[in-house]
Every structure is written in C-alpha cells, then in structure tokens.
C-alpha cells in the first residue's frame, strides 16, 4: 500500500517526440501521482511537451515556449525564469524545464544536486518525474542495476546518478537532458549532458577574512530563508550545530516568530541526548518545541514507509518517518541543515598522514572512509558477495574520487558527491519534502562559494562553528552539542529492539535475498530467543546494521518490482 503524502513539489511529464504512446504514458504517470494524493495544476501542453506540476512550481509560457522551475522548497522567485537555465539552477538551486516548439529544449538539475529529479531517456524523448515510482510503473521494461545495489549496501545510496533501474537516472549537480532538433525528416534526439559545476571553481583563499565570510554566510542563509517565513514554519532541531543555527535564523527572520515550531526526533543512535539538548536549545531561543519519538511496535511500518518515500534509493534515514507524518498535519515550510557538516564543519577530512600518501592511496582512502561499513560485511554477507560488493563499491566511487583527486577541495567535494547528494538528500527532499515544502539553506550556491573559499584549517573539526553560531544568535555561544556530551549509549536502538530485529530478520530470510547472507547469519533463527538476541547485537552496531538495512531495502524493492524485472536474481550483484 502506497502512503498518501502531500508531495508539494511534485512534477512529471515528457519532452520530445510526442507519439500517442508517449502521451498515454505521461497521462498514466499523472494518474498514479493523483492516486497518491498529488494535486496537479491544469496540465500544460505544447507540440512535444506534456507537463504536470503542483502550484509550488514557477511557470511561464508564450505561444511557442514554456519555462518552469521547481525545488523542494517552493516559493520560487518568478524572475529567475527570465535568466539562462544555468543561472536559474545556480541562483535558486532549482530544477527546471525550457521547452520550445516541436519538443525541443532542456530539462535540468539543480546546482546542489540535492533537488531530486529522475529521468528516463529514450531515443526521441525524455520522461521526467520527481518520483521514481511514476516512471518505473509506466516503463515498458525494467532492468535491475546491480551496481546501484552494491552502492546502496556500501554507501547507503546509488552513486553518480544511477538508480536501481538501468533505464532511469537521477540528475546530478548541473546535469541536463537536451532534446534537440533533428535533421530534416528525422526524429528529435535526447542526450544527457553535463554543464560546468561552479563549485569546482571555489578554491581556498589564504586572504579570506574570517569575520567577513562568517557574516556573509549567515546573511546568505537568512536571505534564502526569508521568503519562506511569512507565516508558520518548521525548523528541524537536533542536538547538533547546523539545526540550531537555522532555528535561530528562522526566529530572527520570521514575520511572526510565534508561529514557528521546532521539531526533534531520535536519530536512533541509542541516546536521548539529541532530544534533551534540542529541548535546551529551544528553551534558550524561546521557540515552541515538539519531540516526536518512534515506537518499537511501529518500526516495521516506519521502515516500509521510508522505503516508499525514497523510492528504495537510500537506506539511511528511516527514523525520520514519525516526525514526517506529524509534519503533514502542521502547515509551513521545513528548514533542514543538510550539507552543513561537510561544507561548514570541515567534516570528512583526509587522514592526518594524507600529505604523505600517493595520489592513488589518497583516492582509495577517501572511498574507504565513505564505505567504512564494509569492514563488517563478513558478518552479514557470504564471502564472495563481500568481495563483490567491495570491488563494485570501489569501482563506482573511484571515478568521482579520481576526478577531484588534485582539487584543493578534494575531500569536501568527494564526500559531498559520494554521500550528501546521493543518500542524505533523500531525507529533506523526499521524506520531509513529502510532508511540507522543505528549505535547504546550507547547500545554496552562495553558501557553498563562501565556505569552499575558506582555508581548510579554519573549518576542520568544526572550528568555524562558534563564530557562525554567535553570528546567528548570541545566545548560542558555548552551548554543547549532543556529540559533545555523548560518552556511551543510554538505551537500545529502536532498530535493535525485538520488534525491529524480528522485522528485519524476516525480510532478510525471504528467498529473494537469503542466499546472499553469511552462513552464520543465515543460521540465526529470530524465532529462537538466542537467535533473536544475536540479531539484536548485530543491529546495535552501526556497520552491520547499515548492511542489514540495505538488504532489507533490496527485499522490499524486489517485492514491489521483482515480477517486472528482466532478472530479479540479486546474484547479479556479484556479476555487476
């Protein structure tokens, strides 16, 4: 059963040669979306274009062209449609469409890559959708991408724009599909292309003034948030620095601060400190605060709903589902701090001895740091599958790591493209964004420009945060984070509860994936008390838990699409 969600930033359609079959597929995509609760504006038609959009997308047309732009936040500045698509993508972090006569034009991704847009490119047209399921349900054929599944197991999401289907792709930062005029008497051609990504141009500057950059960064985030703060608003508030910074800025910029509500939930790390520290921050700032906790007996439903919300494309943030459900009934945009840790906090830095490593050693270290879960793969996967997943993971990530190996911001851009864009972005864009419009101020172009031009030493291990927090609100000075206070976990993770272990063990013991398991794990019977405890122990440890979540996601995906796949045998992972 597909959960009903608001999906305020939904878009779908087709650009290119418009056959009757293409038109029918576009109509079917829109019907599936409507069955999920999407409310479309009147459809927009040109020769060669069918576009469905919700009211949050910006749109303009004349007799021979249509221009549209959208993202998870909505409230798009209409004047951006008068700029080139590259400037629209950059200044507004927007996906969009520029369609002219006869089905020619451009369909583009955003500058951050955190705005989710899927495409199915045929010889003569491109079908597009903010929801992968609408493309998959209407495709004539579906082929499993086992490389993508290797990457979900290793990294938590497919890399480099791959999805779990070879036919469907997700647009990466500044990627676009161009549908061009064909030669006389021939059909249109649709081609995937890559525009220049401006973040590659932002290099560390020794002369950068820290105080000036700090003020400019905070003001850039505030300016981006301001149009979304004319009424109610919902900043996410964890125990960390990024969320408290955005909460303080939301209060500062809101037209009616009393209409704001900060939301906290457990990240299922086995500690209540996230909620406790968030409550202290909320009290200090004087904002209404709601804490939403997940229940053990609802774990299975939360995991399944998360899988559906992200179209099985990530295994990372299942614990957000309880708060996402509550947000559906609480109008107002959500504010999420994705990207802060890697761009502002200097996270995922190279090893201390990185300067002594060869180029290849450094590339391998960067990939290994992002796929660290594989060190415990033998506890979960059989031996040959462990080797295959590791090899495929290194192969899939190696291109990105090598492309930026010599860049001054190599570790930042590599981590951003291996983790933030493919996996973490699904949480604000699709989980929270499926409940209310969701704003991501820390991955806008201006913030990235300022952050990437600061020397690494200024940001390493969160060194820049004290200045940023004080610039946002003096009351945040010196307040500890949950990580500062966490020594050991204080309670069992919800995923490692009896209910969580039974649910996940039940998924992994299905015939579709059970053959991938290590002999020891396959032999553990969750119906036996000792077997259940052994499953719980694995799930209480981050690395094997990550792999188990990935296999559970694979099981749910096979349940939904297995009968339509050319081959539904996950042994293909070893042959990818």
* Tokens found for residue 22: 């293409």
Task: Examine residue 4 and state whether it is found in any structural domain, yes or no.
Answer: no
Per the CB < 8 A criterion, the answer to whether 427 and 114 are in contact is no
* pLDDT value of residue 44: 84
Q: List strand residue ranges (DSSP E) for 1-57, in order.
A: 11-16, 44-46, 49-53
Tell whether 192 and 206 lie within a shared domain: no
Mean pLDDT for the stretch of residues 179-201? 84
CATH number of the domain at 311, please.
Answer: 3.40.50.620
* pLDDT value of residue 153: 97
Pick the last residue of a domain from 142, 168, 199.
199
Tell whether 261 and 140 lie within a shared domain: no
Tell whether 163 and 240 lie within a shared domain: no
Mean pLDDT for the stretch of residues 360-373? 92
Q: Which residue from 80, 106, 79, 107 is spatially nearest to 93, judged by alpha carbons?
A: 80
Mean pLDDT for the stretch of residues 475-500? 84
Q: Does the pLDDT value for residue 570 go beyond 60?
A: yes
Query: pTM score, two decimals?
Result: 0.96
Pick the last residue of a domain from 169, 199, 229.
199
Convert the pLDDT of each residue in 273-308 to its tens digit: 889 999 999 999 999 999 999 999 999 999 999 999
Mean pLDDT for the stretch of residues 514-524? 97
* Tokens found for residue 234: 């919902």
Rounded distance, CA 192 to CA 91, Å?
A: 22
* pLDDT value of residue 272: 75
In 3-state terms, what secondary structure has residue 359? helix
Convert the pLDDT of each residue in 110-136 to its tens digit: 999 999 999 999 989 999 999 999 999
Q: How confident is the model at residue 45 (pLDDT cuts 50, 70, 90)?
A: confident
* pLDDT value of residue 341: 96
Cβ count within 10 A of residue 571: 13
Tell whether 377 and 230 lie within a shared domain: no
Task: Examine residue 332 and state whether it is found in any structural domain, yes or no.
Answer: yes
Tell whether 300 and 314 lie within a shared domain: yes
Tell whether 258 and 151 lie within a shared domain: no
Q: Does the pLDDT value for residue 2 go beyond 60?
A: no
With a pLDDT cut of 90, the percent of the chain lying above it is 86
Task: Examine residue 419 and state whether it is found in any structural domain, yes or no.
Answer: no
What one-character DSSP code corresponds to residue 552?
A: H
Pick the last residue of a domain from 462, 485, 508.
485
Rounded distance, CA 75 to CA 71, Å?
A: 9
Cβ count within 10 A of residue 232: 16
Tell whether 214 and 320 lie within a shared domain: yes
In 3-state terms, what secondary structure has residue 14? strand
Tell whether 330 and 453 lie within a shared domain: yes
Q: Give DSSP secondary structure letters for 268-327.
A: SSS-SHHHHHHHHHHHHHT-EEEEE---GGGHHHHHHHHHHHTTT---S-GGGHHHHHHH
Task: Examine residue 221 and state whether it is found in any structural domain, yes or no.
Answer: yes
Task: Examine residue 1 and state whether it is found in any structural domain, yes or no.
Answer: no
Q: Does the pLDDT value for residue 515 go beyond 90?
A: yes
Of the CA atoms within 13 Å of residue 2, those in its CB half-sphere come to 21
* pLDDT value of residue 322: 97
In 3-state terms, what secondary structure has residue 355? helix
Tell whether 440 and 537 lie within a shared domain: no
Tell whether 226 and 155 lie within a shared domain: no
Q: Which residue from 114, 108, 163 is spatially nearest to 135, judged by alpha carbons?
A: 163
Convert the pLDDT of each residue in 427-484 to its tens digit: 999 999 999 999 999 999 999 999 999 999 999 999 999 999 999 999 999 999 988 8
In 3-state terms, what secondary structure has residue 265? strand
Of the CA atoms within 13 Å of residue 358, those in its CB half-sphere come to 2
Tell whether 387 and 506 lie within a shared domain: no
Q: How confident is the model at residue 576 (pLDDT cuts 50, 70, 90)?
A: low
CATH number of the domain at 62, please.
Answer: 3.60.20.10
Give the range among 92-96, 99-103, 339-343 with minimum mean pLDDT. Answer: 99-103
Rounded distance, CA 411 to CA 199, Å?
A: 13
Task: Examine residue 24 and state whether it is found in any structural domain, yes or no.
Answer: yes
Tell whether 172 and 270 lie within a shared domain: no
What separation in angstroms does the CA of 319 have from each of 300, 337, 576? 11, 16, 30
Q: Which residue from 450, 437, 154, 90 is spatially nearest to 316, judged by alpha carbons?
A: 154
Comparing 9 with 491, the larger pLDDT belongs to 9
Rounded distance, CA 538 to CA 234, Å?
A: 35
Task: Examine residue 6 and state whether it is found in any structural domain, yes or no.
Answer: no
Q: Does the pLDDT value for residue 242 go beyond 80?
A: yes
Q: Give bridge partners of residue 128 from the DSSP assignment.
A: 13, 119
Q: How confident is the model at residue 138 (pLDDT cuts 50, 70, 90)?
A: very high
Q: Which residue from 294, 318, 291 is spatially nearest to 237, judged by alpha carbons?
A: 291
What one-character DSSP code corresponds to residue 232?
A: -
The percent helix, strand, coil of the chain (3-state, each to 5) is: 50, 15, 35
Left, alpha or beta for 214 (phi > 0: left; psi -120 to 50: alpha)? Answer: alpha
Task: Examine residue 411 and state whether it is found in any structural domain, yes or no.
Answer: no
Sign of CA dihedral 405, 410, 413, 418: positive
Q: Which domain holds residue 436?
A: 202-338+425-485
Q: How confident is the model at residue 183 (pLDDT cuts 50, 70, 90)?
A: low
Mean pLDDT for the stretch of residues 254-263? 98
Q: What's the domain count of the chain?
A: 4
Buried b (16+ CB within 10 A) or exposed e, 245-266: bbbbbbbbbbeebebbbbbbbb
What separation in angstroms does the CA of 573 have from each of 144, 394, 564? 10, 14, 18
């Amino acid at each position: 059963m597909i959960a009903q969600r608001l999906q305020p930033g939904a878009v779908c359609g087709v650009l290119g040669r418009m056959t009757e079959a293409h038109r029918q597929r576009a109509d079917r995509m829109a019907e599936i979306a409507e069955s999920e609760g999407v409310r479309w504006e009147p459809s927009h038609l040109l020769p060669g274009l069918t576009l469905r959009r919700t009211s949050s997308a910006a749109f303009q047309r004349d007799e021979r062209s249509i221009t549209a732009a959208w993202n998870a936040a909505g409230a798009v500045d209409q004047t951006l449609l008068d700029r080139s698509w590259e400037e629209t993508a950059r200044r507004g972090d927007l996906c969009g469409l520029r369609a002219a006569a006869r089905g020619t034009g451009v369909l583009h991704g955003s500058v951050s890559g955190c705005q989710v847009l899927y495409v199915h490119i045929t010889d003569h047209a491109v079908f597009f959708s903010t929801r992968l399921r609408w493309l998959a349900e209407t495709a004539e054929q579906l082929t499993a991408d086992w490389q993508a599944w290797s990457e979900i197991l290793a990294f938590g999401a497919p890399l480099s724009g791959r999805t779990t289907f070879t036919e469907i792709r997700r647009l990466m930062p500044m990627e676009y599909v161009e549908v061009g005029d064909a030669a006389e008497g021939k059909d249109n051609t649709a081609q995937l292309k890559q525009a220049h990504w401006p973040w590659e141009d932002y290099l560390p500057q020794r002369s950068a003034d820290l105080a000036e950059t700090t003020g400019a960064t905070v003001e850039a985030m505030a300016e981006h948030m301001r149009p979304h703060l004319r009424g109610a608003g919902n900043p996410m508030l964890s125990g960390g620095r990024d969320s408290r910074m955005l909460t303080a800025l939301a209060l500062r910029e809101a037209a009616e601060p009393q209409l704001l509500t900060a939301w906290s939930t457990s990240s299922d790390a086995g500690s209540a400190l996230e909620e406790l520290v968030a409550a202290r921050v909320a009290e200090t700032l004087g904002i209404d605060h709601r804490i939403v906790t997940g229940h053990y007996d609802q774990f299975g439903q939360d995991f399944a709903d998360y899988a559906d919300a992200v179209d099985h494309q990530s295994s990372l943030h299942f614990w957000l589902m309880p708060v996402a459900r509550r947000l559906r009934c609480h109008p107002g945009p959500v504010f999420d701090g994705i990207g802060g840790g890697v761009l502002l906090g200097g996270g995922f830095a190279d090893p201390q001895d990185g300067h002594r490593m060869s180029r290849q050693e450094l590339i391998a270290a960067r990939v290994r740091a992002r796929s660290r879960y594989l060190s415990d793969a033998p506890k979960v996967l059989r031996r040959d599958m462990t080797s295959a997943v590791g090899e495929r993971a290194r192969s899939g990530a190696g291109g990105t790591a090598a492309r930026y190996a010599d860049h001054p911001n190599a570790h930042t851009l590599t981590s951003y493209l291996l983790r933030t864009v493919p996996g973490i972005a699904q949480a604000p864009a699709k989980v929270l964004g499926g409940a209310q419009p969701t704003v991501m101020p820390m991955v806008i172009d201006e913030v990235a420009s300022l952050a990437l031009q600061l020397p690494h030493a200024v940001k390493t291990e969160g060194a820049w945060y004290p200045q940023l927090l004080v610039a946002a609100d003096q009351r945040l000075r010196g307040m500890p984070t949950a990580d500062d206070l966490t020594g050991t976990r204080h309670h069992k993770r919800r995923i490692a509860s009896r209910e969580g272990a039974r649910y996940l063990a039940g998924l992994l013991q299905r015939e579709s994936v059970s053959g991938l398991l290590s002999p020891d794990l396959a032999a553990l019977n969750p119906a036996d008390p000792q077997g259940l405890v052994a499953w719980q122990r694995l799930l209480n440890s981050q690395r094997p838990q990550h792999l188990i979540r990935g296999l559970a996601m694979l099981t749910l995906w096979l349940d939904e699409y297995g009968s339509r796949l050319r081959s539904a045998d996950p042994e293909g992972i070893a042959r990818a």
